[in-house]
């Protein structure tokens, strides 16, 4: 890791931790004592950056604003504008549902190579399809390096007693999507939003119901995805304005920069530059080497996956969860 990579990491990621922590819907879910205290001061963000910079220089490990672990790409719904492009997967390209042993090994290896994770999101597809989900939540919640955990669900599967107990942890917030008005859901799937919400309320589980608050037309189209090689200046500018930047995730042990990258990795022929960029944490024996490579991964001005992303025709205010 050279000085340029260190500087780029500090500029991009340490400031991203501040930005993510101050997002309105995140502030509704979690309390960030240090950040909330510093927000009382005019130079609070600068003070946070100085502290984070010193911590990074001492530990030489990445502090991550947001990390997703994809338990599966399978879902009980088939949304046209899914932000992970799940409706475009095939039986051959779907990932298998992760079990607890795989989850534990990946999480342990990742945590040895990073300083902390501000928000860990345990996602799918539909994460409640994973039979070991309760054990995963309980295990992740015990890790002091993980500050907060988000569990999104489409409310088509009601939680078991074991899962309800796991979700009671104050580190965990459940993100419930409001699909009550969605039509033409296949395979006999039923949205149980009201029942799911009541279970959360009855058990004092932290939850967020963003879509119910904002109304039905909260969706937007995803970028067109196809194999390409674009101009580096364009890619850098596109990445700066991307809603999914640094929403990185692990899928089958591989680190990807964003949600669309998961679809690209599983469904489209990869250009050589992407193959060189992929970090498979399961192949590392040295935590120190993995820590350095993770910093390099986040120090770049854009990802090679961005070559495939064409975000020029985005439509907004679309109906929630239109099915295909």
> pLDDT by residue (tens digit) across 108-126?
999 999 999 999 999 999 9
Q: Is the pTM of this model over 0.85?
A: yes
Can you read off the two tokens belonging to residue 251?
A: 């899928």
Q: Coil, strand or helix: which one is 176?
A: strand
**What fold is seen in the domain 62-310?**
TIM Barrel (3.20.20)
Cα–Cα distance, 72 to 133 (Å, whole number): 11
Among 116, 102, 30, residue whose Cα is nearest residue 70: 102
Query: 246 versus 170: which is more confidently predicted?
Result: 170
Radius of gyration of the chain (CA): 19
Q: Which helix (H) or strand (E) holds 62?
A: strand 62-70
Residues 6+ apart with CB under 8 A from 274: 264, 304, 305, 307
- Model confidence at 172: pLDDT above 90: yes
Can you read off the two tokens belonging to residue 28?
A: 């509704």
pLDDT value of residue 275 = 87
pLDDT value of residue 64 = 92
Among 198, 196, 146, 191, residue whose Cα is nearest residue 172: 146
What digits encode the pLDDT tens for the residues 189-207?
999 999 999 999 999 999 9
Helices and strands in the chain: count of H runs, count of E runs: 14, 10
Over range 289-303, report the average pLDDT: 92
- Model confidence at 170: pLDDT above 70: yes
- Model confidence at 166: pLDDT above 90: yes
pLDDT value of residue 113 = 97
What digits encode the pLDDT tens for the residues 16-49?
888 888 887 777 777 788 888 888 998 999 999 8
pLDDT value of residue 215 = 65
Residue found by looking up tokens 């090689």 in the block = 229
């Amino acid at each position: 890791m050279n000085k340029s990579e260190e500087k780029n990491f500090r500029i991009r990621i340490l400031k991203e931790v501040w930005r993510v922590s101050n997002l309105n819907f995140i502030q509704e879910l979690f309390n960030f004592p240090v950040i909330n205290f510093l927000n009382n001061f005019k130079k609070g963000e600068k003070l946070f950056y100085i502290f984070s910079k010193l911590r990074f220089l001492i530990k030489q490990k990445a502090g991550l604003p947001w990390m997703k672990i994809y338990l599966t790409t399978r879902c009980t719904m088939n949304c046209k504008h899914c932000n992970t492009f799940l409706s475009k997967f095939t039986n051959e390209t779907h990932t298998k549902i992760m079990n607890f042993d795989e989850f534990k090994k990946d999480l342990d290896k990742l945590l040895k190579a990073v300083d902390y994770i501000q928000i860990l999101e345990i996602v799918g597809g539909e994460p409640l399809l994973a039979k070991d989900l309760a054990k995963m939540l309980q295990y992740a919640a015990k890790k002091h390096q993980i500050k907060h955990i988000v569990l999104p669900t489409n409310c088509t599967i009601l939680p078991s007693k074991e899962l309800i107990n796991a979700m009671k942890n104050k580190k965990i917030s459940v993100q419930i999507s409001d699909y009550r008005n969605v039509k033409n859901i296949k395979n006999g799937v039923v949205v149980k939003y009201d029942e799911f919400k009541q279970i959360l309320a009855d058990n004092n589980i932290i939850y967020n119901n963003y879509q119910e608050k904002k109304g039905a037309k909260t969706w937007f189209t995803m970028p067109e995805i196809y194999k390409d090689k674009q101009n580096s200046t364009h890619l850098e500018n596109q990445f700066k304005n991307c809603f999914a930047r640094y929403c990185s995730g692990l899928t089958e042990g591989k680190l990807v920069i964003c949600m669309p990258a998961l679809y690209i990795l599983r469904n489209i022929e990869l250009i050589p530059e992407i193959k060189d960029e992929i970090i498979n944490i399961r192949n590392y024996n040295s935590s120190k080497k993995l820590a350095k490579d993770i910093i390099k991964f986040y120090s770049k001005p854009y990802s090679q996956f961005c070559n495939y992303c064409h975000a020029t025709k985005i439509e907004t205010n679309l109906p929630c969860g239109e099915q295909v």
